[in-house]
Amino acid sequence: MPRCRFALALLVATALVAGANAGCRRSEAARSNRVHLTVWSMWSGGEEQAFVRVLRAYEAENPNVTITNLGAVRDDTKTVRAIIANAAPDLFTLAEPGFLGAVAAQGGLRDLSPLFATAGLREADYTPGSLSQSRYRGKLYAMPFLLDAYALFYNKKLFREAGLDPERPPRTLEELAQTAATLTKTDSDGRLIQLGFAPIANRTFNAGDGSLLMHLFGVKLVDGSGTRA
């Protein structure tokens, strides 16, 4: 039975999924009464349970399909190595979208472009950024599953105390720097007691946070051709 390979990528703490697409399902079902798909997903705990419910819902709609999920596969290099060794799952998640192009360039992924159309999906239903990170050289190799949204959160009470307008947050990087300096406080010994701006909301720095900050300052990670770092 031919194996249909898809990729799921997360965007900035953006997440993207490839599903067991209807086109793949029908072509395989025509050759067999049963279709078994294996999935490697990054989630564990409650998040994995929620993801598995999605898989079970798909099985309910497609009784000839059985899906086995291996959770907590957070290291994308494990999946890349499995592809190289020809031992990859049918579907998998990618925490770092940057792996997508490299794997697709080596023929390790299935082009979902024709399946996207036959499934009745519309590009207008997706954010342009999510689909652009799912493509390599114009072909679609992944589908969005989860996207993180970034926003500037600020404390109006601290704004008032510092003499800043609580109804007007900073609108440029220059204003952000000035506001951060105004809000930052130290004690008589010079020890920091209030940080004016914390660019990372979660406790651990991740690639998504770094990529966002680099983008804001105009950093380019690849050349104009999009093929060289």
Q: CA-to-CA distance for 2 and 184, rounded, in angstroms? A: 60
Buried b (16+ CB within 10 A) or exposed e, 39-55: bbbbbeeeebeebbeeb
Nearest residue to 197 (alpha-carbon basis) of 215, 210, 212, 184? 184
Both tokens assigned to 72: 């907590």
pLDDT recorded at residue 211: 67
Is residue 100 over pLDDT 60?
Answer: yes
Distance CA 160, CA 209 (A): 28
Phi, psi of 77 (to 5 degrees): -65, -25
Q: Please tell me which residue, 200 or 126, carries the higher pLDDT value.
A: 126
| Cα-based angle 37, 88, 34 (whole degrees, multiple of 5) | 20
Helix axes 98-105, 76-84, angle to 10 degrees: 0
pLDDT at 210: 65
Tell me the pLDDT of the chain averaged across its residues. Answer: 80
Output the pLDDT for position 69: 95
Q: What is the DSSP letter of 5?
A: -
Alpha carbon distances (Å) from 98 to 73, 77, 79, 131: 17, 12, 13, 13
Write the pLDDT tens digit of every residue in 19-56: 333 344 444 444 558 999 999 999 999 999 999 999 99
Provide the sign of the torsion angle of the four alpha carbons 139, 19, 143, 90, taken in this order: negative
Whole-model pTM: value is 0.66
Tokens of 143: 């589908």
What is the predicted pLDDT for the residue at 96? 80
Strand 35-40 and strand 139-140: the pairing is unpaired
